[in-house]
Structure formats: structure tokens, C-alpha cells
Amino acid sequence: MQDVKICVIGLGYVGLPLARLFSTRYKTIGFDMNQRRVDALMAGHDATLEVSDELLQSAIANGFVCTSSIEDIRDCNFYVVAVPTPVDKNNNPDLTPLYGASTTVGKVISRGDIVVYESTVYPGVTEEECIPVVEKVSGLKFNEDFFAGYSPERINPGDKLHTVEKIKKVTSGSTPEIGQKVNEIYASVILAGTHLAPSIKVAEAAKVIENSQRDINIAFVNELSKIFNKLEIDTQEVLEAASTKWNFLPFKPGLVGGHCIGVDPYYLAQCAQRHGYNPEIILAGRRMNDGMGEHVANEVIKLMLKKGIQVLGSKVLIMGFTFKENCPDVRNTKVIDIYKALKEYNLDITIYDPWANPEIVRHEYGIEIETIVLKEKFDVMITAVAHTQFEEVPILSLLKEKHVVFDVKGFLPKEQVDGRL
């Protein structure tokens, strides 16, 4: 593969930054089934805000192309699949996007080509689920006619410090020689360097445990928050004191959503169950974190009753809807759990988030949000997401004289809040 021509399939939060980076060294085409997304990118704007307009427009000027036409990617020889790997309503892994992307690859892949998967999966998915689809559609034989690799994405949405080129990349290949080739291509653009794993399964497992470990650590401090709340001890103050020890891990309680941390443990858990082992800690952590939205809602109701605020019809302002701060990503946000739990009490709820796209929120969750600060007065304020813009919001001016403030993120000064995790 002297003349590497790269195609990145899936131009979302992961695929677009990677494709843009590859385009600085190689001829690169971005492929996405969503024509509106392709049109917006070719017009020079990324709605996810992961790639700045300046960088995107510069890449396009230098030959980077986005397309939804399969014919445009037929002459590529290095395919990278970066599509979502969600779970269904029962928290079972949904590999539908991967099957679709693998079908696309199968239609265009040629002898000697390489396909690399970046999507988070449990060990074995690349070789046992994806590659057979490519073989069937293409009529080519794996590891004879075409080859595969796995290099898990590690992008942190909204993080402008740890961008794709500054995060060390794990790579792997279906043969030792292909592993070296895949590693060399990634190493040529990743400034932080690469780590060549001995097999695709090792690379898959490494990715899925990264987020599972974080999920379990957050579940631990979420449980501490519930315990200390009953003891009338401030959790944030406990963690601040404990973190003075050099090896204490500084995790904080909160909602765990998004496309990775709240999803990946289910992939690992199902893989374990398929092989006859029932994971205990992983699923216990998931149960704890999945219940935090309802826990916040219950704590808010208790505080309202203690202050003599009538629950029925009270006006509630939820600050933030995205799954994390300073990012427009609303995938798997757990703020919706707070909203749904409070709605059961017939409260009048307003959600304010200047980062979230109201159209996407309406489509995905069936609710309305505000993107500008309202002038009315509220009985309750819940700071669910710590957007930087919220530092400029005059909190007290939005609240009635008798009110409740619940701080999910430990964002506000302690003296301004009635409760926090």
C-alpha cells in the first residue's frame, strides 16, 4: 500500500476529527449516509463543534471531501469505520450501525485493502460479527484477499485540550504485518504516539474496560453521596479532604450519560454472560449510575416539602440538558431521567441549555428546551450541567423568595444551594 487513500465511514463526533486529521497526510474521503450532514460539512461547518470551521475549511481547501455516494469511495484502500455502537431499550448491544457500515465496506473493498474498526465493541465483534459481513458482500476472503484492524476511538467530546492527535492510540491488525501497517498509518498523524496491541481482541478489550473502570469509580462516589447525605455530611468536602492523599482517585458524583461511559459496560457485561460468567461489580455500578437521575428528583421533592413549597404546579428550571458541559452532544443524557421523574409530580418544568440543539432534543426525547435565559421566576433550580456560560447567569434573579437550589455538579458556591450530590 504505497499510495494510501483513506475513507472514514461515519462523520460524527469520532469520524470527522479523525478524517480531518488523516487529510493532513493522506488523500482522505469522509463518507456518511446523512446527506444533510455531508452538505453542512462541505459548506464548512461542523454542528458537533468537534472540528472548528477554520480547520474544516482548510482541510476542504486542501482536498478533503465528504460524500454520501458509495461510488466516491470505491478507489480507497484503507477504510476506517467510526459509527455509533448504542444499546437498545433493554440495554443490549445494538450492532445495527456496524452491520450497515460493514455492508458498505463489502460493496467497495478490493484485494489487498484494509478495514479498521474504531467503534467500541466487546472482544470478538470485529472478527466474528463485522468481518463475515464484509466477506459475504464482497466475495473476498479475510486475511487472504483483504485484512482488518481495530483502533478504538478515545475522543472526549467537547474537550479542546485532548484532541484526537494528542491522545495515544491503541492499534492492532489481523496479522502481525497488517498490525505494523495500521500502526504506521496512525503513528504518522497521532502526535501522542501509538501502542500496537498483539491482537484485535486485546485492543477491543482495552477500550471497553477503559470506560467500564470509570463507570465503576463514579458509581462508588455516587453511593458515597447517598450515604453521606443520610449522615448530613457534605460529600464534596469529604472528597476534597480525601484527595489530599497522593494516590486517592479524584472522581466526583454525578449523572453518567453519553455515548461511551453509560453504554460500554453493557457491552462487556453481555460478552461475559455469553461466556457463562455473570458480572457483579460492572452491573452493580450501572444500576447505581442509572438511578441517579431519579435520586436527584426525589431529593429535590424532599427539599421542597421541607421548605413548605407546594409541589403541584411549581415552576422548575433545569440548567443544562447535554450529557456533559460545553458540548452540544445530547446522546444518552441522564438529565432526561430527572425531567421524567419530576414530571410524575405534575411540576411545570423548563429546561435551559444554550449548547443543545432544540430540534435534536425534540426529535430524540419529545420535549422542548430553551436556549436563552428566561425572565420569569422559578420555585426550583437544578444545575444539571456545568456549562461555562452558566457562570454568567444571575442565579438569584431567576428564583422566587422561597426556593430550592439543587446542584448536581458541585458547580455553585455551597452557601447558594440547598442540596448537592
Q: Of 66, 76, 130, 260, which is the active-site residue? A: 260
* Predicted pLDDT at 1: 52
- Pair (52, 194) in one structural domain: yes
Does any domain span residue 76?
yes
Q: Which residue has the cell 484485494?
A: 111
Cα angle vertex 215, ends 211, 218, to 5°? 135
- Pair (181, 298) in one structural domain: no
- Pair (38, 168) in one structural domain: yes
- Pair (300, 185) in one structural domain: no
3-state secondary structure string, 139-192? CCCECCCEEEEECCCCCCCCCCCCCHHHCCEEECECCHHHHHHHHHHHHCCCCC
- Domain residues for the domain of 39 are 5-207
- Pair (160, 15) in one structural domain: yes
Does any domain span residue 248?
no
- Pair (305, 202) in one structural domain: no
Please compute, for residue 43, the number of CA atoms within 13 A of its CA located in the half-sphere on the CB side.
9
Cβ burial of 55 (10 Å; 0-12, 13-18, 19+) is middle
Distance CA 51, CA 54 (A): 8
Distance CA 384, CA 392 (A): 16
Cα angle vertex 253, ends 249, 254, to 5°? 135
User: Of the residues 171, 191, 207, which one is the last residue of a structural domain?
Assistant: 207
- Pair (42, 154) in one structural domain: yes
Query: Would you give per-residue pLDDT tens digits along the chain (421 residues)?
Result: 568 999 999 999 999 999 999 999 999 999 999 999 999 999 999 998 899 999 999 999 999 999 999 999 999 999 999 999 988 888 888 999 999 999 999 999 999 999 999 999 999 999 999 999 999 999 999 999 999 999 999 888 777 888 899 999 999 999 999 999 999 999 999 999 999 999 999 999 999 999 999 999 999 999 999 999 999 999 999 999 999 999 999 999 999 988 778 888 999 999 999 999 999 999 999 999 999 999 999 999 999 999 999 999 999 999 999 998 999 999 889 999 999 999 999 999 999 999 999 999 999 999 999 988 778 899 999 999 999 988 888 888 899 999 999 999 888 888 889 999 9
Task: Give the chain's domain count.
Answer: 2
Residue type, 19: A
- Pair (42, 170) in one structural domain: yes
* Predicted pLDDT at 336: 96
Crossing angle (nearest 10°) for helices 281-290 and 292-306: 40
The number of beta carbons lying within 10 Å of the beta carbon of residue 209 is 16
- Pair (79, 174) in one structural domain: yes
Does any domain span residue 144?
yes
Does any domain span residue 353?
yes
For residue 130, indicate whether it is catalytic.
no
User: Of the residues 207, 228, 247, which one is the last residue of a structural domain?
Assistant: 207
Burial 168-202 (b: 16+ CB within 10 A, else e): ebbbbbbeeebbebbbebbeebbeeebebbebbbe
User: Of the residues 207, 228, 252, which one is the last residue of a structural domain?
Assistant: 207
* Predicted pLDDT at 376: 86
Beta carbons within 8 Å of 267's beta carbon, 6+ residues apart: 85, 87, 93, 120, 121, 122, 208
Does any domain span residue 14?
yes
* Predicted pLDDT at 159: 79
Does any domain span residue 221?
no
**Closest Cα partner for 48 from 28, 32, 62, 64?**
32
- Pair (31, 173) in one structural domain: yes
Does any domain span residue 269?
no
The number of beta carbons lying within 10 Å of the beta carbon of residue 374 is 12
- Pair (11, 129) in one structural domain: yes
Does any domain span residue 235?
no
- Pair (166, 17) in one structural domain: yes
Copy the grid coordinates of residue 125. Answer: 465483534
| CATH number of the domain enclosing 330 | 3.40.50.720
Contact between residue 320 and residue 408 where contact means Cβ atoms under 8 Å apart = no
